[in-house]
Structure 1
Amino acid sequence: MNFKRYGSVAAIAVAGSLLLASCAANEGDTGSSTGDEGTPSTLSGTLVGAGASSQQSAQEAWVAAFQTANPDVTVEYDPAGSGAGRDTFIAGASSFAGSDRAFKDEEIAEDNFASCVPGTGIVELPAYISPIAIIFNLDGIATLNLDADTVANIFAGNITKWNDPAIVSQNEGVELPDLAITAVHRADDSGTTENLTDYLAAAAPSVWTWEADGVWPIEHGEAAPQTSGVIDAVTNGTGTIGYADASRAGDLGTVAVKVGDEYVPYSAEAAAAIVDASPLVEGRGEGDLAIELDRASTESGVYPIVLISYLIACNEYEDAAQAELTKAYLEYIISDEGQQLAAEKAGSAPISKTLFEKASAAVAAIK
C-alpha cells in the first residue's frame, strides 16, 4: 500500500501502526496457522486501522491472534487517538477506525467517507467497553471516594488542594496532604475526554457548564498527548490527577465515584451494567449501534464514567479486498474468543449476548 498518496492524515497513522503491527506479527508467528475449526485461511493482504489509544492493549492481542489464524494477513493499527482515527478513516487512509465516540449525526450526513461506496453509510460497533478511571498520585493513598461535583470542581480548577474540605469529608480516616492538585488532561482530540466531559456535564451540571467535547474545553491544568502521555504525567508528577482507560491505570490511585448513595469503584462488571441499561441512539442505520449512555444514573452497582470504544467500518467498500479483510477482522473481535481475550489482556467488559447478536448482523452485512 502506498501511504504517500494519503498525505498528512496518513502520516499520523503510519508511524505507530508499523511498530504495533511488527510487535503483533512477531507474537503471531507461533501457534496454529489455520482459521476456525482447523480450516486453512485463504485471507491475504494488509489491513490498516487507526484510532483510539484506549484500545491499544486489546488491539495488540486481537492483531496477534488474528494474524496467527491468518498468517498471510498483516494488520496495522495505529493508536494515534480517536480524532486522528476518524480523520484517517474519512480520508480513506484506513479501512477501519477505532473511536471512543460514535460519529455524530451531522458527520454521518456529510457522507464523505472515502473508502465507502457513496450513500451506503457506516457500521459502528461498540466492541470495546471499559470504565474510565480517575487516576491520581498521592503517596500512601490507593483509593479515594469522590462525588461528581468534587471531580468536576477539581478538573475545573475550583478545588486546588488535596486537603480541601470537600475531599476530606468524603474520605474519613484518610490523611490527605496540604498539597497542590495538578489536574492532567489530554492534549489531543480524544474520545476518552469526550466521555469524561459528558459524564461531568450530566452528573455535575451546576459545576461543569461546558458541553461534552473531545477537546479539553478550558485552559486549567496540564495537557499531555494520548493515554500514555496522561499516564506518564500523573505517574511522574506529585499530587497529580487525571483520567485514562482503566486498563492503563496500573499502580496509580483510583477514585470510587458516588452513584446514588454509594461509592462505586471502577470495574468491568459495573461498566457493562450501565451499557446494558442504556438505549441505542435513535435514527441511525441498521449497522450503526451507537449507544446513548445514562451518565446520571443512580442505579446500584453501575459505574457511569464508562468508555464505549467503537470499531467503525463501511457498510459497503469501494475495494472488495478491504471489505473481506475488515469483515473477517471485525467478526473475530466481536466473537466470544475475541471479547474474552480483550477482557484478559485489557480488562474490558465483554459485550452482552444481545449486543453481540446486533453486532454480528451488522458485520455480516458488510460488502
Structure 2
Amino acid sequence: MKLQPTHRLRAIAVGAVAVSSALVLTACGSDDNTGGTNAGGGTKAASNIKCDGEGNLLASGSSAQKNAMDIWIKNYQAACEGVGINYKPTGSGAGIQEFLQGKTGFAGSDSALDEQEIEQSKKICKNGQGINLPMVGGPVAVGYNLPGVENLVLDADTIAKIFDSKITRWDDEAIKKLNPDVDLPSTKIQAFHRSDESGTTDNFTEYLHAAAPESWKYEPSKAWAGKGGQSADGSSGVATNVKNNEGAIGYFELSYATGNSIPTVDLDTGAGKPVEATVENASKAIAEGKIVGEGKDMAMELNYATDAEGAYPIVLVTYEIVCDTGNNKESLDLTKSFLSYTASEDGQQSLAEAGYAPIPDEIITKVRSTIDSLA
C-alpha cells in the first residue's frame, strides 16, 4: 500500500539500520550525515541491554538518524562484546535500495516504503514483506548564517519563496514584516538544499506543500524540485555550507544545527507565538500523528500544517525497515537484539542529548512487540 499525501497530512517513514556480517546477507535489507554533532552518549544503559546474536551487522540509509545511531552503537557494543554494528549514512533512497537488493539486514529511511518498494521487498523477505518501524523523531531545523541576527522568524510562505528563489535578499519586505525589530542586511540569500535523494527533503517539502500550497507548487519528493539554490551532499554537507557562507540558509536535523552552532529559524505557524525548533516542540507535533500502515507495518501520517500551540511542524520520523518474516536467519537474532535496545526506554531516552525526540509511548510500545515477532 502506498500512503498518498493529502493537503495537510502525509505518511513519512524513516530510516533503517542495516546489519551485515562478514557473512553474505540475504536479509531484507536514509540520508547521509557524516558530520555534525558529537554523538556523545555514555554507556549507562549497557547493563539493561539484552545481548543476542553474533557477528557483524551492516545497515545503511537515513543520515538524519546517523547521530542517534552513533549513540546506540556505542552503547550496544560496549555491553555486547564480540559483535559489530556498522551503519552507513548513505541517504534514505540509497539505504532502501541496498535493503531491496539484499545487501543489508535492514534500512533507515525518513520516508515510508511505497507500493512498488513493498512489492520489491517480497523478493527479499521470503513469505513476507518490508515493514516500517518508527524509531527516531525530531525537528528539521531551518538554519541560517546572518551575522548580527540572533533571532529570526519566518513562516511557511516566506520559506517556500526563499527556497524557490522568489525571495533573494534578506531585507525583503516579506522577511521584514515578520521581523519588525530586527536590523536585516541586504545580503544576498544563498539557499542550500540536498543533492542526494533524501527523506529530510521529502519531509521538508511535505511541510512546504501542506503549509504554503500557493507558494510551493511542487509535489513532495526525496529529490529536490525547487528552482535555483545550491546543492550539497547529506545533512552534514548542507550544514557545513550554511556555517561557512554568510547569507546562507538550509534545512537539516536539529543535531546538525546544535553541533555546528548554527542559529535556527522560529516558525510563525499561526499559533499565539512563533515556535522554536526543539525536541519538546517536535514531540508535540509527532504526538498528533497516527499509524496508518496495515498489519505489522507502522508507517505514520503527520500533520505538517498544524497550528497547535508549541507544536513545531517541520518534523520527521525515521523508520527502521525490516522484513516482517523472511529475515536472514544468520543475522536475525542480532538484528532483533539491537533494534530491541534502540526501541527500549533507555535507548529512546538517550536520544534527547543529541537533539532527537523519543517516539511517543503508545507508538514505541507497539514497535517493541513488533520487533519481538520478527522472523
Q: Does TM, normalized by the shorter one, top 0.5?
A: yes
State the match for 1:357 in structure 2: 365
- Residue deviations 1:8-57, cap 9 Å, x none? xx9x99xx99x99xx99xx99x97998648x8x45311111001111111
Tell me the secondary structure at the aligned position of residue 229 of structure 1.
helix
Instruction: Say which of 304, 313, 326 aligns to 2:322.
Output: 313
After superposition, the Cα gap between the structure-2 partners of 1:177 and 1:92, relative to the gap in structure 1 and judged at 3 Å, is same
Instruction: Say which of 292, 305, 314 aligns to 1:296.
Output: 305
Structure 1 gaps of 5+ residues are none
**Which segment drifts farther, 236-245 or 271-280?**
271-280
* Structure 1 Cα separation of the partners of residues 188 and 278 of structure 2: 29
After superposition, the Cα gap between the structure-2 partners of 1:4 and 1:225, relative to the gap in structure 1 and judged at 3 Å, is farther
Tell me the secondary structure at the aligned position of residue 265 of structure 2.
strand
Structure 2 gaps of 5+ residues are 1-20
What RMSD in Å do the two structures reach over aligned CA positions? 2.8
State the match for 2:97 in structure 1: 87
Residue 279 of structure 1 deviates from its aligned partner by 1.9
Residue 318 of structure 1 deviates from its aligned partner by 4.4
1:198 partner letter: E
After superposition, the Cα gap between the structure-2 partners of 1:5 and 1:309, relative to the gap in structure 1 and judged at 3 Å, is closer
Preserved CA contact (<8 Å) 2:139 2:316: yes
Instruction: Say which of 80, 98, 114 aligns to 1:104.
Output: 114
After superposition, the Cα gap between the structure-2 partners of 1:222 and 1:96, relative to the gap in structure 1 and judged at 3 Å, is same
1:50 matched to 2:79? The reply is no
* Structure 2 Cα separation of the partners of residues 2 and 331 of structure 1: 22
Instruction: Say which of 78, 93, 98 aligns to 2:88.
Output: 78
* Structure 2 Cα separation of the partners of residues 113 and 238 of structure 1: 49
After superposition, the Cα gap between the structure-2 partners of 1:340 and 1:181, relative to the gap in structure 1 and judged at 3 Å, is same
* Structure 2 Cα separation of the partners of residues 266 and 33 of structure 1: 27
After superposition, the Cα gap between the structure-2 partners of 1:257 and 1:33, relative to the gap in structure 1 and judged at 3 Å, is closer
* Structure 2 Cα separation of the partners of residues 35 and 45 of structure 1: 20
After superposition, the Cα gap between the structure-2 partners of 1:62 and 1:318, relative to the gap in structure 1 and judged at 3 Å, is closer
Instruction: Say which of 226, 243, 249 aligns to 2:234.
Output: 226
* Structure 1 Cα separation of the partners of residues 356 and 195 of structure 2: 24
1:327 matched to 2:336? The reply is yes
Tell me the secondary structure at the aligned position of residue 309 of structure 1.
strand
* Aligned-residue identity in percent: 36
Preserved CA contact (<8 Å) 1:313 1:326: no
State the match for 1:150 in structure 2: 158
* Structure 1 Cα separation of the partners of residues 25 and 369 of structure 2: 34
1:233 partner letter: N
1:63 matched to 2:47? The reply is no
Tell me the secondary structure at the aligned position of residue 240 of structure 2.
helix
Instruction: Say which of 177, 183, 186 aligns to 1:178.
Output: 186
Match runs of 1:24-43 below 5 Å: 36=48, 41-43=51-53
Preserved CA contact (<8 Å) 2:52 2:333: no
After superposition, the Cα gap between the structure-2 partners of 1:5 and 1:293, relative to the gap in structure 1 and judged at 3 Å, is closer
State the match for 1:280 in structure 2: 291
* Structure 2 Cα separation of the partners of residues 336 and 113 of structure 1: 34
* Structure 1 Cα separation of the partners of residues 123 and 156 of structure 2: 37
Instruction: Say which of 189, 197, 214 aligns to 1:189.
Output: 197
Residue 109 of structure 1 deviates from its aligned partner by 3.1
Instruction: Say which of 188, 200, 210 aligns to 2:218.
Output: 210
Match runs of 1:231-242 below 5 Å: 231-242=239-250
1:247 partner letter: S
* Structure 1 Cα separation of the partners of residues 83 and 197 of structure 2: 31
State the match for 1:167 in structure 2: 175
- Residue deviations 1:248-272, cap 9 Å, x none? 1031121111112331111111111
The aligned length equals 348
* Structure 1 Cα separation of the partners of residues 299 and 239 of structure 2: 28
Tell me the secondary structure at the aligned position of residue 53 of structure 1.
coil
* Structure 1 Cα separation of the partners of residues 268 and 168 of structure 2: 20
- Residue deviations 1:188-231, cap 9 Å, x none? 00000000001000000000000000100134100000011101
After superposition, the Cα gap between the structure-2 partners of 1:126 and 1:317, relative to the gap in structure 1 and judged at 3 Å, is same
State the match for 1:198 in structure 2: 206
Residue 121 of structure 1 deviates from its aligned partner by 1.7
State the match for 1:270 in structure 2: 281
Residue 104 of structure 1 deviates from its aligned partner by 1.5
After superposition, the Cα gap between the structure-2 partners of 1:298 and 1:161, relative to the gap in structure 1 and judged at 3 Å, is same
State the match for 1:136 in structure 2: 144
2:288 partner letter: A
* Structure 2 Cα separation of the partners of residues 32 and 129 of structure 1: 22
* Structure 1 Cα separation of the partners of residues 349 and 25 of structure 2: 38
1:244 partner letter: F
Residue 101 of structure 1 deviates from its aligned partner by 1.0
